[in-house]
Structure 1
Amino acid sequence: MDPAAIDLVDVKAQYAPLVPEYREAFERVLASGRFIFGPEVAGFEAEAAEYLGVPHAIGVANGTDALVLSLEAMGIGRGDEVICPAFTFYATAEAIARVGATPVFADIDPVSLNLDPDDVERRITPQTKAIMPVHLFGRPAPLAELARFGLPLIEDAAQAFGAEGTGTTGICSTYSFFPTKNLFALGDGGLVGCLDDGVADRLRMLRFHGSREKTTFELVGTNSRLDAMQAAFLRISLPHLDSWNAARRAAAATYAELGLGDAVELPPDEPGHVYHLFVVRTTDRDTIGAALKEREIASATYYATPLHLQPALRYLGYEAGSLPETERAAAENLALPMWAGISREQQERIVETVLDVVGAAAAR
């Protein structure tokens, strides 16, 4: 690949400055012989709980397990309904279905792309046991408005570790440490932040086959543990998260300063947004994407087939047109490169390309 090519997320650039510390952590864990649970996992859980402002943080294998185990620990299952968006990654609804509950899709706000509280309210039934808002692309969902319905919240914060105002409203908040996330592992990992002592106790058992100790099993659980090596790496990364998120916000401001908003609809600059992804809206998406690709600049479309239209979820009975704002966002979104170390020069190339395409289209 051309060295001048621009990735959607430059993973190597994110972790490269910390490689010496990661090597030291690797050697430390290797020398300890403690690869499952142990002091690194306990240490990261304590540090994450303090950062998030919650009494409990429970490490698990990945962000999907964080969702599934949260639902199970809250006693949600067959016959229950959980309201969530359809404009999100499949794992959100998949987790609900995996515990035997029914995903109920609500439409999104056309500006924030997060759950529309008014549409959520219309979909509440006696079977509704929880609402699962997603802090999409790093933008906080309207938690206060959703909490007024009096239903438990499970915050899908996979894309929003460190986003202001998140993680302390829902009984559980779930996180992913996939390598492209704002707080990333060098592999896979997940976490549940929890406000309830009883739910946290069940989460700890569920991640370890439903057991408090190896010989007695109180629940039917699974094997979902954050390993010690990833926990050690995450302990190194966590102190840098605020500066990384600030750099992402600065990069978002640079896109606006360079005039990108003259060509596409920019995401609203809201307090707390940590820009896991920088997603614009445009009806010229395919043309812009092709031009960027020609200049070796990556872009991406997210959730082009929203969840209510996915083959695996056809049994829920949704049809095209049933969630109009969701479907419009799916047809118009375009993610542009974003990471904590993206340079102004790279952003200038990106914006120049987009402006060239839109200007040429307008001149035709």
Structure 2
Amino acid sequence: MNVPFLSFEAQHAPLSAALTQAFTRVLNSQWYVLGEEVKQFERAYSAFNEVAHTVGVANGLDALVLALRALGIGPGDEVIVPSNTYIATWLAVTQVGATIVPVEPDPATSNLDPARIAAAISPRTRAIMPVHLYGQACRMPEIMALAAQHQLFVVEDNAQAQGAAFDGRRTGSYGHINGTSFYPGKNLGALGDAGAVTTDDEALAQKVRVLRNYGSQQKYYNETIGYNSRLDELQAALLQVKLPVLPEWTRQRQQVATWYEQHLAGIAGLRLPQVAAGATHVYHLYVVHTPDRAGLQQHLGRQGIGTLIHYPIPPHLQQAYQSLSFSEGDFPIAEDLAATCLSLPMWPGMSESHVAAVATAIRSYH
């Protein structure tokens, strides 16, 4: 059985008529930027994410940049980020001119370790940026307590974890201001680039509304140096169709993860995802770890099973960050995770037979 790494068919086919209707509604409205569709989606996502305010922006990176800008973070400030994350988390800090302070994760969950965060706080630290990596909630109560103790801001990167929670509270609702992405492959994906900022703070939300629109509240009157970073009407309309189905898609992802856990149990040299006590995992990705990643990936490819690596090179070793003078060995946990991680197929609509086929191929290699 061929098993693709990702398939949208089971998600999009049942929604085809509704998605087409949403497209037609926007087309006929003759209003394509910052209109009623964006306002309606912002209200709906706020209700889903249990926050007071959602501000739609162009993409997930912009969401993080605008969140940092709204907090006034810039040159001279330090921001604590994970040493293992997609590079967008680091890029956001760089784009506002602040200093990146990488912190190693808990090897079991791949998420930021609060104890290591505490050790990295300095007099110049202004914010902590936890990333709910692969869809598992970080230990947010501990992170928020640290932030309160040291009078720091928290900006959650919730791009991979829409609908996850820690101690029953949604990710993307803990931080002072937070960013998420609706890139097509995310658990809630648009049909192009899209993102949002979430917060309970009206003043911060209003700053982001101004920043996303050229620094302007009134057309042609610009009060600050802003951006052109607006969630467009079409993507907002399409996301409104998908949002009510997200809880069911999450349930399906969690079921697939349960099947993986059952079918992959007991394979020597293969470490399965571990979920921290109090956390939920929405399985944006199902990531296993093995010291023979290259061999296993090639074997699975020959069996018609798609896999990807999230992410093969940690940010501190990327060419883009050569100027920071990090070297191999500086962040050994991040480097080990990058060298051993392999993302298996994971999408709503996967059946147990798909999972069994993947597991059979893995067992045949081991």
CA distance in 2, matches of 1:128, 1:285: 37
CA distance in 2, matches of 1:357, 1:72: 49
Deviation at 1:261, TM superposition (A): 4.6
Paired residues for 1:93-242 under 5 Å: 93-149=90-146, 150=148, 151-164=152-165, 165=169, 166-242=171-247
Q: Deviations over 1:338-360 (max 9, x none)?
A: 011111111111000001101xx
Query: Which consecutive unaligned segments of at least 5 residues does structure 1 have?
Result: 359-364
Query: Which consecutive unaligned segments of at least 5 residues does structure 2 have?
Result: none
Q: Does 1:267 align with 2:288?
A: no
Q: Deviations over 1:182-238 (max 9, x none)?
A: 001011100110121111110000000111110221110010011111100100100
Structure 2 CA distance for partners of 1:79 and 1:355, relative to 1, 3 Å: same
Task: Give 1:54's match in structure 2, choosing from 51, 54, 58.
Answer: 51
Structure 2 CA distance for partners of 1:157 and 1:279, relative to 1, 3 Å: same
Alpha-carbon RMSD: 1.2
CA distance in 1, matches of 2:101, 2:214: 29
CA distance in 2, matches of 1:222, 1:215: 14
CA distance in 2, matches of 1:31, 1:146: 47
Which moved further from structure 2: 176-185 or 303-312? Answer: 303-312
Aligned twin of 1:306 = 314
- How many residues matched? 355
CA distance in 1, matches of 2:266, 2:58: 39
CA distance in 1, matches of 2:275, 2:78: 33
Helix, strand or coil at the partner of 1:27: helix
Q: Is the 8 A contact 1:174 1:190 kept in 2?
A: yes
Q: Deviations over 1:106-137 (max 9, x none)?
A: 00101010011111111111111100000000
Aligned-partner residue type, residue 264 of structure 2: G
Aligned twin of 1:328 = 336
Q: Does 1:338 align with 2:346?
A: yes
CA distance in 1, matches of 2:263, 2:223: 58
CA distance in 2, matches of 1:204, 1:354: 48
Helix, strand or coil at the partner of 2:55: strand
CA distance in 1, matches of 2:292, 2:325: 31
Aligned twin of 1:11 = 8
Aligned twin of 2:325 = 317
Task: Give 1:70's match in structure 2, choosing from 67, 72, 78.
Answer: 67
CA distance in 2, matches of 1:59, 1:260: 41
Aligned twin of 1:361 = none
Deviation at 1:325, TM superposition (A): 1.1
Helix, strand or coil at the partner of 1:41: helix
| TM-score, normalised by the number of residues in structure 1 | 0.95
Identity %: 42
Aligned-partner residue type, residue 124 of structure 2: Q
Helix, strand or coil at the partner of 1:209: coil
Aligned-partner residue type, residue 160 of structure 1: A
| TM-score, normalised by the number of residues in structure 2 | 0.95
